[in-house]
């Protein structure tokens, strides 16, 4: 059904730690992984699924590690990748960083976790907050374990433990929208969408019932109200705590939240978004002598708003040298290892326009290798504002002890995959 065994390898393909779950694939098969990977890489056919004889490898890479699952069955591939990423998430929450050293430093806990996370190829409890209740780094004393029967593990509410206490009950709601745009070299917007997510930081006692109200157009249509601005969410994804069938029937977002930080939901809105920071660029390449770059950035958002930490990254040829810059605001820096100029503007008010000029020398002997045409990318963050106009209308919090709790809401718009193709 899914994985027969899970391996964590270092960059050379040496097994750091592994767990055999089903015993139907020879553990030595993993020795074929690295040669296979190098072969496919060389052929330019790299692929997340590889097979050697009857054994199939599904793998992901994380920092300096490969996480590899083997199988000889028709496994559910999407489950395996989801699980591998879940492994990364759990280990990261346990060890802060998941890398070669943290595996060695914690091999006892890693073994324990691998034993708990998956059984006979079936993923089990993978919620790290719950796992931390009974798999601790100090080594559980039996006395402690006796008092802590892991009820949460098998509860219908498997993501929140009972008996949580806070003096002050609060919940912080972050609405974060990322703007993805792809602009062609001739300036036309090829595709654009908004991927939003709502993150919670829950500091609430007991087992609270929460209900989140958004200005969701479908909900408004259902309830027959049509006042104010509404938002059409193309696709919504929820944390497992949200009752999906409830949402499906009457669009109510009701849930018992996990404690602490979590991502409650994400949504996608497929509208034409005016690129909030518009870039016009002229890049002229004079072979054997120089490259001249002129970039104009314009803030196409409300005057009252300000974009923070704006970074415009402009690609330059890999053999460029002796950079010279001139900027109307902010500062430009050449990052040779990434073959780009990064123009940083700390604060960029709406409606304003700024300019950057760059000049590079080119060697007289031309680089023979063909270079790609990386796009200009932009990073930014605009607080107190969402492009879609989505709003949290209310957050109802009901707990049987009847405490009063305060919800705090914050809105941020930021750049997602923000690419503008260039001519060179």
Partner 1 sequence: MTDSKYFTTTKKGEIFELKAELNSDKKEKKKEAVKKVIASMTVGKDVSALFPDVVNCMQTDNLELKKLVYLYLMNYAKSQPDMAIMAVNTFVKDCEDPNPLIRALAVRTMGCIRVDKITEYLCEPLRKCLKDEDPYVRKTAAVCVAKLHDINAQLVEDQGFLDTLKDLISDSNPMVVANAVAALSEIAESHPNSNLLDLNPQTINKLLTALNECTEWGQIFILDCLANYTPRDDRESQSICERVTPRLSHANSAVVLSAVKVLMKFMEMLPKDLDYYGTLLKKLAPPLVTLLSAEPELQYVALRNINLIVQRRPEILKHEMKVFFVKYNDPIYVKLEKLDIMIRLASQANIAQVLAELKEYATEVDVDFVRKAVRAIGRCAIKVEQSAERCVSTLLDLIQTKVNYVVQEAIVVIKDIFRKYPNKYESVIATLCENLDSLDEPEARAAMIWIVGEYAERIDNADELLESFLEGFHDESTQVQLQLLTAIVKLFLKKPTETQELVQQVLSLATQDSDNPDLRDRGYIYWRLLSTDPVAAKEVVLAEKPLISEETDLIEPTLLEELICHIGTLASVYHKPPSAFVEGSRGVQHKRITGSVGSGESESPDTGSAAGASEAPPAVIPSQGDLLGDLLNLDLTPPATTGPPPPTSGMQMGAMDLLGGGLDSLLGGDLGGSSAMGAGFGAPTPAAMPASFNAPVSGGLDDLFDLGGGVGIPTGVNSAPKTVWLPAMKAKGLEITGTFARRAGIIQMEMTLNNKAMSIMTDFAIQFNRNSFGLAPAGPLQILTPLGPNQSIEVALPLSTVGPVMKMEPLNNLQVAVKNNIDVFYFSCQYPINMLFVEDGKMERQVFLATWKDIPNDNESQFQIKDCHLNSDAASNKLQGSNIFTIAKRTVEGQDMLYQSMKLSNGIWVLAELRVQAGNPNYTVSLKCRAPEVSQCVFQTYEAALKN
Q: Which of positions 151-180 make contact with partner 1 (CB under 8 A)?
A: 153-154, 156, 158
Shortest gap between Cβ of 135 and partner 1 (angstroms)? 9
The region of 97-105, 304-312, 334-342, 352-360 touching partner 1 under the rule CB under 8 A is: 97-105
- Beta carbon nearer to partner 1, 38 or 406: 38
Q: Please list the residues that pair with 265 across neighbouring strands.
A: 198, 238
x/- site string to partner 1, residues 371 to 410, per CB under 8 A? Answer: xxxxx-----------------------------------
- Residue 195 interacts with partner 1 (CB under 8 A): yes or no: yes
The answer to whether residue 244 forms part of the interface with partner 1 (CB under 8 A) is: yes
Q: State which residue, 12 or 227, has the beta carbon closest to partner 1.
A: 12
Enumerate residues 52-91 that contact partner 1 by CB under 8 A.
Answer: 54, 56, 58-60, 71-79, 81-85
CB of 2 to partner 1, least distance (A): 9
C-alpha distances out from residue 136 to 13, 88, 131, 144, 145, Å: 29, 17, 8, 11, 10
Cα–Cα distance for residue pair 353/344, rounded to 1 Å = 14
When the beta carbons of 123 and 361 are compared against partner 1, the nearer one is 123
339: contact with partner 1 by CB under 8 A: no
For 194, the token pair is: 């908004």
Helix (H, G, I), strand (E, B) or coil at 318: coil
Q: What's the distance, CA 183 to chain centroid?
A: 22
SS3 call for 29: helix
Cα–Cα distance for residue pair 219/215, rounded to 1 Å: 8
Q: Which of 287, 364, 370, 404 binds partner 1 (CB under 8 A)?
A: 370
Count of residues near partner 1 by CB under 8 A: 98
- H-type alpha helices, 96-161: 100-105, 107-117, 128-134, 142-147, 151-154
Cβ–Cβ < 8 Å for 408, 201 = no
Q: How far is the CB of 4 from partner 1 (least distance, A)?
A: 11
Pull the structure tokens for residue 243: 């009752």
Nearer to partner 1, 129 or 359 (CB): 129
Residue number, 146 or 227, with CB nearest to partner 1: 146
Closest separation in Å from C-beta 134 to partner 1: 7
Give the x/- contact pattern for partner 1 in 101-140, rule: CB under 8 A. x--xxxxx--xx--x---xxxxxxxx-------x----xx
- Of 244 and 406, which has the nearer Cβ to partner 1? 244
| CA pair distance 374, 118, nearest whole angstrom | 41
DSSP string, 289-311: TEEEEEEEEEE-S-TT-EEEEEE
Under the binding rule (CB under 8 A), the answer on residue 337 touching partner 1 is no
Strands 118-119, 122-123: pairing is antiparallel
Contact 273, 387 (CB under 8 A): yes
Q: Which is nearer to partner 1, 11 or 406 (CB)?
A: 11
Are 342 and 335 within 8 A, CB to CB?
yes
Nearer to partner 1, 264 or 362 (CB): 264
C-beta of 12: minimal distance to partner 1 in Å? 14
Identify whether the C-beta of residue 241 lies closer than 8 Å to the C-beta of residue 159: yes
Q: How near is the Cβ of 189 to partner 1 at its closest, in Å?
A: 10
Q: What is the torsional sign of CA 128, 129, 131, 136? A: positive
Specify the residue, 376 or 397, whose C-beta has the smaller distance to partner 1.
376
DSSP secondary structure code for residue 367 in this structure: P
Q: How far is CA 376 from CA 312, 324, 360, 369, in A?
A: 7, 19, 17, 21
Residue 261 Cβ vs partner 1, minimum distance, rounded to whole Å: 15
CA distance 104 to 182: 42
Residues 277-296 that bind partner 1 (CB under 8 A): none
Q: Which of 97, 162, 235, 280 binds partner 1 (CB under 8 A)?
A: 235
Instruction: Specify the stretch interacting with partner 1 by CB under 8 A; choose among 240-248, 340-348, 358-366, 394-402.
Output: 240-248
Q: Least distance from C-beta 158 to partner 1, angstroms?
A: 6
């Amino acid at each position: 059904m899914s994985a027969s065994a899970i391996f964590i390898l270092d960059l050379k393909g040496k097994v750091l730690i592994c767990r055999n779950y089903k015993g139907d694939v020879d553990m030595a098969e993993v020795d074929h992984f690295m040669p296979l990977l190098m072969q496919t890489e060389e052929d330019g056919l790299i692929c997340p699924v590889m097979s050697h004889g009857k054994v199939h490898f599904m793998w992901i890479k994380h920092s300096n590690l490969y996480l590899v699952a083997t199988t000889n069955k028709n496994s559910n591939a999407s489950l395996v990748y989801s699980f591998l990423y879940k492994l990364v998430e759990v280990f990261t929450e346990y060890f802060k960083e998941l890398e070669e050293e943290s595996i060695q430093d914690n091999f006892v806990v890693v073994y324990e976790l691998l034993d708990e996370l998956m059984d006979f190829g079936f993923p089990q409890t993978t919620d790290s907050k719950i796992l931390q209740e009974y798999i601790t780094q100090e080594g559980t004393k039996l006395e402690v374990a006796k008092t802590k029967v892991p009820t949460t593990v098998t509860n219908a509410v498997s993501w929140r433990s009972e008996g949580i206490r806070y003096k002050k009950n609060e919940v912080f709601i972050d609405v974060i929208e990322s703007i993805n745009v792809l602009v062609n070299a001739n300036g036309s917007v090829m595709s654009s969408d908004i991927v939003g997510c709502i993150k919670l930081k829950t500091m609430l006692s007991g087992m609270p019932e929460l209900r989140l109200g958004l200005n969701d157009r479908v909900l408004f249509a259902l309830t027959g109200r049509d006042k104010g601005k509404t938002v059409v969410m193309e696709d919504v994804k929820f944390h497992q705590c949200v009752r999906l069938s409830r949402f499906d029937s009457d669009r109510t977002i009701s849930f018992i939240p996990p404690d602490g930080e979590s991502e409650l939901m994400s949504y996608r809105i497929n509208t034409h978004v005016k690129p909030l920071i518009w870039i016009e660029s002229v890049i002229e390449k004079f072979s054997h002598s120089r490259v001249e770059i002129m970039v104009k950035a314009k803030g196409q958002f409300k005057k009252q708003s300000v974009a923070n930490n704006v970074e415009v990254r402009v690609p330059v040829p890999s053999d460029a040298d002796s950079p010279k810059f001139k900027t109307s605001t902010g500062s430009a820096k050449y990052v040779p290892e990434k073959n780009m100029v990064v123009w940083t503007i700390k604060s960029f008010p709406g409606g304003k326009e700024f300019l950057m000029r760059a000049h590079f020398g080119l060697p007289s002997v031309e680089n023979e290798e063909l270079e790609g045409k990386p796009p200009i990318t932009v990073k930014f963050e605009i607080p107190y504002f969402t492009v879609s106009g989505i709003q949290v209308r209310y957050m109802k919090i009901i707990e049987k002890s009847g405490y009063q709790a305060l919800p705090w809401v914050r809105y941020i718009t930021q750049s997602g995959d923000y690419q503008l193709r260039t001519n060179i």
